[in-house]
Structures are given as C-alpha cells and as structure tokens.
Amino acid sequence: MKTRSMKAAATLAGAMVSMALVATGCGKGADTPADTPAVTEVTFWSWLRASQEVTDAFNKTHTDVQVKFEQIPGGAEGYGKLTNAVKAGNAPDVATVEYAMLPDMLAQGNLADVSGDITDLVKSKYPAPIQELVTLGGKTWTVPLDAGAMVMFYRKDLFEQHKIAVPKTWDEFKAAAEAVKKADPKARITDWNQTDSANFVSLNWQAGAKWFGIQGDSWKVTLDSPESQKVAGYWQDLITKDLVTNVPAEEVQKRKAAGQVWTQLGGAWAAGGLKAGLPDQAGKWASAPLPSWDAAPASAMVGGSSFGVSKTSKKKEAALKFITWMTTTPEGIQARLASGASSTLPAIPELADVAAKNFDTKFFGGQDIYGVAKAALPTIKTGWVWGPGMRGVFDGIGEQFKLVQTGKQQLPAVYGPVQAKTISDLKSRGINAS
Amino acid sequence: MPPTRSGLARRQYGVAALFTAPFFLLFFTFTLAPIGYGGWLSLHREQTSGLGLGGEPEQVFVGLDNFTRALTDAQFLGSFVTVGVYCMVYIPVMIGIALVLALLLDSAYARAKRAFQLALYLPNIVPGLIAAMIWTYLYTPGLSPIIDALDKVDIPFNLGSDAGAVGAVANLTTWMHTGYNVIIFFAALQAVPREVIEASTVDGAGQIRIAWSVKAPMIRGAVVLAVLFTVIGAMQLFTEPFIVRDAATTIDQAWTPSLYIYQLTKAYDMGGAAAASLILTVVLAVASFLVTRFSKKGATL
C-alpha cells in the first residue's frame, strides 16, 4: 500500500514538475512587451451544465478574449479546490460561486474586489432580491447568473390517472402522499434525500426561517427556530409514517425510473437533470409551484450561481468581459440553453424569456415550465441571508440526516448540534458569531 | 594512463550521486518539504476578523494549541478506536484466508497454480476507489442481488449498524488485499527446504499436518511482516470508508483518523488538520519501528 502511494506520488510529482515548466514558459512570453499577445486567455472553472457550450460560443464570437474552460466538481470539493488554488496562486480567472457559498468564499479571501466594475451593472439589470445575494459588506462581489427558484416537478400522468389533485399546500401534500401510497403501495410522493441537505435547507427558508443575520459586526446564527421546527416536524412525520422514500440515493434513482417517485422538489435548474436522468419519461412530467404553508404561495431559492474573479487573477478586465457576456446577454443565455442540457432560469427577467424560448419543453409535454419558475420568483421569502460556514452547515445537516435515517435522531433535533458547531467553527476562524 | 584508485572512487561517487539525485530531489520536494510545511501549519491557525468579509485570512501562531485540541477531541481519539476494532476483525480474517490459500497452492495436490495466483491477485489491481464503488452497490438493499438473496433466507445484513459498517469495510479490504498476501506467503513457502518436507513425509505426516506444523511455522517471518504492514495500511484507511459512507450511515465524518483530517480541511482548519496528520505520522512511525523490530526477530526464527 505504501509503495503504491509512493509511486503515485512520484508520477504526480513528474506531472507537476512538467506543468510548472510549462507555466513558467508561458510567463516569460507574456513578460516581454514586444510579443504581448493580442488575445488574452482566461481560464474558467465550473460544474454548471453546458459550461463548455457557453465557452465555445464565446470563443467563436470574440477575438480579443479567449476562454479555456475546465470542469471541476460541484459541492464542497469544488470550493475546496478553488480555495487551495487561490492559496497556491494557480486559481482560474473566472470562478463559479453559488449564492450560499459567497460569504464563505469571501471569508477565505478567494475573490477579487471588482465592485468598482460591476456594481452599476448589477444594480441596473437585476431585481433587488438577487442583488442582495451578491452584495455583502456594502460591496457587490459577483455577477448573478440564475435564480434557483424552488418548484415542484410532478408526474402529471400518474396524478391524473389516479385522480389525485396536485397539492398546493403542505397539508394537501401530506394528504396526497397518503393517496399516492394507497394507489400504488410501492410508490411514494417524493424522495427523502438521506445525505444531501440542500433542499431541506431551502424548505426552512420557505417557511420563513432566517438562519443567518448580521448584527453590527457579528453574525447571528439561528438554525433552531419555531419556523425550522415546523419544517422538521412535518418531514419527520412523513418519514415516520413511511410516506416518503427513505432509501439511498442510488435506489431513489432506480425507483424514479420505475415510476415510483411521483414528485421532485428542486430549483428551476433541476429540470435539466430530470430530463437527462429519465429520458423514458418524456412528456409525463410537469412543473407546479412549491406547496406552501398557508394559502399564499411561497418559495425559496435552492442553488443558484454567480461568477466572480479570483483574487489571483491578473486578467480582471478580460474575465469580466466573459462574465458579463455569459450572464447579461441573450447570446450568452442562448448558448447555455441551446444544448438542451441546462434549464437555468436567468436572474434577469428579460433573459428568462430568451431562456424559455430556447428550452425544449417536450419532456414537460410542452408546458411552459419557465412560466412556473418565473411566477415563483416574486414569492421567494425575503430576509434570508447566507452566512459563512455554509459548507459546514450543509455537511453537518447531512451528517445528522444519517442519524435520522437509522432512527437515532429525530429531525427536529438536527438543528441544535449544527448551530453550536457552526458558531464555534466561525469563532475559531476569528469571525464574530453568536 | 590507468586511473588512480581514488580517482576511480571519486568517479563512482559521481555516478552514484547522479543516479540517486532524482530520488533525493523527489524525496525532499514531495516528502520532507511537505512534512516541514505541515509542521509550520500545525503551529498556526487561519484568522479573519469581524464578519469575515475583509479579505484574506492571516496565519496566527498558536503554539501547540492545535495538538491539544486534536488530542482532547473525542472524535479524533474515537477514530483510532474504530481503526483498532477494524484491525481486530480484518487482520486475522484476511491473513488467515491468505495463509490457507497459500498453503493450498503449495500443497502437492494443487493444480493450475499460476492461474490461481493470477486470479487471486486480480482484485488487488482494481483501484480502491473503483472497488469501493462496486461494493457499495453490492451492499445497497434493493440494488444488490446478494443482499436480496440473504434477505430471502432471513439473514439480515444491516449496513446501517456499527458492526455492519466495520464488516462491510473489512470485507471489501479483505477482498482487495488477500491475493497480494497469498503471493507473498506463496513465495516464502517456495523457500522452505524440500528436504524438511520430505523428512516429515517419511515420518508419516499427512499434507494437512505438514502444512500446519512444518510449513506455516517456517514462514512465520513473512506472516509477521505482512501483519504489521497491514496494520500500517489499515491505520491510514480512507478511500474505502469514504465511498461506502454513502450507503453506510454509521460511518461518520471522523470514522478513521484520515477521514477526520479530511473533514478538518473542509472546515478550512488547516492547522488542526496538519496537527492531526503529524500525530498520525508519529503513530505510524512507531508502528513502522515495530515492523523492523519484529521482522528482524521473525527472520531469526
């Protein structure tokens, strides 16, 4: 075992040495003013669907800036990679940052301050709630791409066939869950994700919880609140009564393919994944607003990304040119949607229409799913703020889920330990929190 | 003119230096330097201030605080306990199976020895990551034909229990590493003098008796060495539980020391991670020291 890892290390070493040689070679060329390249090459890291297509389209239509796209993993791994790369000085020029992770990335000092260049752009083009997500400490840090408005995708054919009404409130959702199980004992209304907490966090947002807040010079962390308790109690009940699937993710996918999972909660962007994962069920799915706690429709955001310039980038201008093109022009949005893989809902309202036109709705039986997502935008609960340490919060809740699954813990008890750990983690990093 | 003695020696030194330089260069760059950097990191902690929006975190000297934190963290200490339990299950089973297989291969009745050696060795060339992913599927109820079959005959296997998790990981590593040790033991068995075996046959010992009372004791050195190398490998356990974690709910983020360290890096606690890594390194160094001690002893047996 030891010798093998040594061998791997040696191979890696060789590769790194040669990469370093290439890098220094490039550096020398750029230093000499005589052969300053007319084309600025910027690198771009992302995991978002259709990023390669967007890059290709940009490169085709631009001569002064050329972009090199590199696929990185999403989630904790991707952000870890970015943080390490900034430290090592080989970060990409353009980085993808989800709204939830922006405070964390700022606390790590990963992003360059480009507020002077983008504040006017963001202020003039984006709706106020979206602006808030990328404005922290009075500065605008990144340019938003999409709004991950949460909706409910559902198997229209099955709901109609069994004459079950599409639930509009969470009470109706529970009733429908019972009806679904009755109609098909193997089927459940939705899947309870045993490890990924992103949806659950956003359901707390929808219920009016506010997990982070700023009080003067300090973060106020309040995961455990009456609103959160309401959400946890509700889902614990569904789990206890066996009204939602409670199986590992691999098996959920299998059950979805078998038509045993009738709804899927998720951001507008999740439609692309649904389409790719279940090609046989084309025409059978539809989109509806997320069920709400009272009659008034309410939503939250799950995911949603923006682009920033990394701290170590020396090509700020070129990077911003690409970012602006990707996020604020019809061409940029068109390129993202044309491949059919992405179902991103652009944060700029006019561009949402461009996206709707470019999205192939065959999978959703021709339904205007962008209409549903757009209608959800103004119903997103206001006042939610993402704080630093969200990576730990998502992870921590995910770990607690494992205890819930084995019955060692009940959902309402998951907030306490994660809240305490988040506060102590922030404090040990020198960040004021209580 | 013939080269002088010292000139020749000097030239040989030069050649030797040329050949060993790449090793020392890589050894310094990728082993010693990182350990040194790790040592520096372990004495520092990243600090920002206020809301944490003010730019780059600073490295603040905190003395041995990171070490005290690690050594008083129940999670970190618990991870060593997990590995200990895992070793107690995994090592006897794996070494036992490997020894029996090697003795079978070495017996007078064995046929197609080469083919069996190759077949037994095959799992070892599957990368740990891939093996873990395949086994995770085989452990998932509803997806795995094995679990479903066990269920039908009422032998429940619960990956979600503590014992289930240790069993699952131990089973996976046993599958991977048994073949490797069979090869080692088989090679050692080849060195057992044939006269000794002939003598025992003349004395009336059967194959089983020979295997157990003659051959096995004679390769004790190899077995001891294999056990201790396995202990060192097992203490660094990471890939397998990291992947099986997806299905095994009791494998938490600090199940083994390596997982604990990884978890700290995710929380941006590089100082704590470096300190925990150094503690693990010391423990491993002690184990390595034991390897050399025991192997010397084993060789004289």
The three-point CA angle A398-A399-A403 to 5° equals 110
**pLDDT(A1) > 60:** no
* Nearest residue, CB atoms, B51 vs list A109, A195, A214: A214
B230 vs chain A: nearest CA distance in angstroms? 8
**A75: alpha, beta or left, given left = phi > 0 and alpha = psi -120 to 50?**
left
Q: Which of A4-13, A207-216, B289-298 has the lowest mean pLDDT?
A: A4-13
Using alpha carbons, select from A374, A372, A367, A366 the residue that is nearest to residue A350.
A374
Q: Which CATH class is domain B65-300?
A: mainly alpha
Q: How confident is the model at residue A31 (pLDDT cuts 50, 70, 90)?
A: very low
Q: Residue B160 and residue A310: Cα distance in Å, rounded?
A: 42
User: How many contacts does A have with B, using Cβ atoms within 8 A?
Assistant: 114
The residue count of chain B comes to: 301
**pLDDT(A30) > 80:** no
**pLDDT(A62) > 80:** yes
pLDDT score for B3: 55
Q: Which of the 8 DSSP states describes residue B214?
A: I
Inform me whether the C-beta atom of residue B44 falls under 8 Å from chain A C-beta atoms. no
Using alpha carbons, select from B228, B241, B82 the residue that is nearest to residue B173.
B241
- Counting Cβ atoms within 10 Å, is residue B9 exposed (0-12), middle (13-18) or buried (19+)? exposed
pLDDT in tens, A313-339: 999 999 999 999 999 999 999 999 887
- Element housing A70 (H / E): strand A65-71
Which has more pLDDT, A147 or A31? A147
pTM (2 decimals)? 0.81
Using alpha carbons, select from A412, A275, A272 the residue that is nearest to residue A343.
A272
Q: Two tokens at B232?
A: 């060192």
- Contact (CB<8Å) A402/B250: yes
pLDDT in tens, A254-271: 899 999 999 999 999 899
A274 vs chain B: nearest CA distance in angstroms? 21
pLDDT score for B241: 93
pLDDT score for A26: 43
What value does the mean pLDDT take over residues A84-110? 93
Q: Searching chain B, which residue's CA lies closest to the CA of residue A396?
A: B253
pLDDT in tens, A224-242: 999 999 999 999 999 999 9
pLDDT in tens, A387-404: 998 988 998 999 899 888
Q: Residue B266 and residue A273: Cα distance in Å, rounded?
A: 27
Q: Residue A405 and residue B34: Cα distance in Å, rounded?
A: 40
- Counting Cβ atoms within 10 Å, is residue B46 exposed (0-12), middle (13-18) or buried (19+)? buried
B50 vs chain A: nearest CA distance in angstroms? 5
Mean pLDDT of chain A: 89
- Contact (CB<8Å) A250/B236: no
Domains in chain A (CATH in brackets) are 37-146+304-358 (3.40.190.10), 150-302+367-428 (3.40.190.10)
In Å, what is the CA distance from A340 to each residue of A49, A323, A332, A344, A356? 9, 21, 14, 10, 11
Q: Which of the 8 DSSP states describes residue B299?
A: H
Q: Residue A343 and residue A324: Cα distance in Å, rounded?
A: 19
* Nearest residue, CB atoms, A399 vs list B52, B143, B253: B253
For residues A296 and A260, the answer to whether their CB atoms sit within 8 Å is no
Which has more pLDDT, B278 or A359? B278
pLDDT score for B4: 59
Q: Who contacts A70 (Cβ-Cβ below 8 Å, separation ≥6)?
A: A43, A44, A45, A92
What value does the mean pLDDT take over residues A75-98? 92
Distance of CA A68 to the CA centre of its chain: 22
* Nearest residue, CB atoms, B266 vs list A194, A391, A429: A391
In chain A, how long is the greatest CA-to-CA distance?
Answer: 76
A 10 A CB-CB count for B85 gives: 14
> Which residue's entry shows tokens 């994700």?
A193
For residues A390 and A421, the answer to whether their CB atoms sit within 8 Å is no
For residues B293 and B228, the answer to whether their CB atoms sit within 8 Å is no
SS3 at position A44: strand
- Counting Cβ atoms within 10 Å, is residue B235 exposed (0-12), middle (13-18) or buried (19+)? buried
Inform me whether the C-beta atom of residue B12 falls under 8 Å from chain A C-beta atoms. no
Q: How confident is the model at residue A184 (pLDDT cuts 50, 70, 90)?
A: very high
Pairing of strands A40-46, A94-98: parallel
pLDDT score for A201: 96
Pairing of strands A40-46, A65-71: parallel
Q: Who contacts B210 (Cβ-Cβ below 8 Å, separation ≥6)?
A: B197, B200, B201
pLDDT score for B170: 94
**Residue A189: CA atoms inside 13 Å, Cβ hemisphere, count?**
26
- Contact (CB<8Å) A2/B47: no
**Low-confidence spans in chain B with pLDDT less than 70:** 1-8, 54, 291, 294-301
What value does the mean pLDDT take over residues A198-223? 94
* Nearest residue, CB atoms, A429 vs list B47, B250, B253: B47
* Nearest residue, CB atoms, B56 vs list A103, A109, A405: A109
pLDDT score for A37: 61
Q: Residue A343 and residue A50: Cα distance in Å, rounded?
A: 10
Domain regions of chain B by residue span = 5-42, 65-300
pLDDT in tens, B217-258: 899 889 988 988 898 889 899 999 998 887 787 888 899 999
- Strands of A149-208, DSSP E: 150-155
A126 vs chain B: nearest CA distance in angstroms? 23
pLDDT score for A194: 81
Q: Which residues of A touch B161 (CB under 8 A)?
A: 406
